[in-house]
Structure 1
């Protein structure tokens, strides 16, 4: 399905809610390649906003523009209430950025990395040591603080990376694919850290290739495709864009299966697997109606499962099947 065939959900944000990041018509090209083709963004303060897209879709370019690392070719944006072009210094003072690749210096200890960051933020020695100690404890790195960062695991380096980002107490944090390459335990630890940051009032702009990550963390999600925002909304709103939800009935008795096929003529069926599929949006009302229908039809299946579209289905529908990394689903919510 081409992305143009999928409607974009309406914004559900409260217009009176403070905005951490806003952008209108952002454009960026590298040579003859258009990476961003006039995108609009609005990130409410104290929320997690996830930008999804495959490699090369422009996620990192978006982060680099909003964090003033590179300039846009067109459009306007404000971060923390400051114009990214006219007041770049104020933007930098309000944000923290954790890139795809760790900024940790492996030749020095975790504590020394933190103190170096404190110096860059012009903290006094006493302030720097206090902030360093507090953040190392918060990120469970106190025991490893005196060890060279090169000896840290991937998850520990990522935690140190974010701890360094927080030295300046930023109100807005850009996390560019923060869990890429991490094992499931480290990924879940990072998710918990992000939730704690937001609960403390921090706004998080997250880019990720992991659909489950966006589903777990984000208040709103945007899908970037061909330089444009293909769709944006809550995870639930995006999932409702895609048809294909159904209730699946599985039988072990061929006779019961044939009776069900005869009784439920509107359901699609698979004779090889002895299964029927009844279209359903997954709501409680629809499920109750299907169960009533089964009772009236005297159909008793060996197994009943409800299938609803997930973000994988949304992504493939919006991008026409463009490949994207997607980790296995983890039922952690």
Structure 2
């Protein structure tokens, strides 16, 4: 059981280190981390415990030692306990936002999406200028999508993409998740277009009162049936051709998106791989990304069939987008 704990901790504490996380400044803590990474966890933990015992809780180094103790912990419970101490007892220290992000990652790894969301929102509220915002946005996107809250996921991802323009790798990771936001927008636009073609049957709609709710003025005696008014002389009855022509509904085009990359060169490389297939390739610049899309299909079903074929031939995760 202890081996599984340590393996899980290594996955969380070492494999998903945020690229902008603060590095330990004390060489003794750096050595402890290196010792743990070399598989000597007991020695690393003993060194950190000795350093903690010789440091005053009011020393600015103290929260950094607690954070390092979490990174070399032997169990998930110990790791969480030390991170919570940093986040709560030393919430104004420079290590509190790192600790909160670690707690988010731990909660996500155990599918505790409510806990992850709570720590994410605290991170945003208490540390609005943290350099960890782009990394937090990545985990927020995954957390909120899995928790079936796409609106929150897309809001976080958009903020993260805006704050990470100089980090191409992170931009790609955020952009990949943000594709699901594009799908939501495309789906909403398609539904709105469908709703706009339906007749307005609302009684008493503003600007167009319903004849069912507005009594007709008549000169006949009360109780007498209403009489149809004759057209005035010299005014021929209106014909359908006299009314304004109806605009035809806009035709939606469906394409298959195969990539969303940070640079134009990356988009050209992706397009070059599919051109031998004889398909139409377009590149759309949107949200700081170059999105490479394939084909031009009149129905979503046809595009979905093409996406399945491209997935088999090219790999990856191509998906359908709607374009007006």
**TM-score of the pair, normalised by structure 2:** 0.30
Larger proportion of helix: 2
Could you tell me the TM-score, scaled by structure 1's length? Answer: 0.29
More strand by share: 1
Structure of larger gyration radius = 2
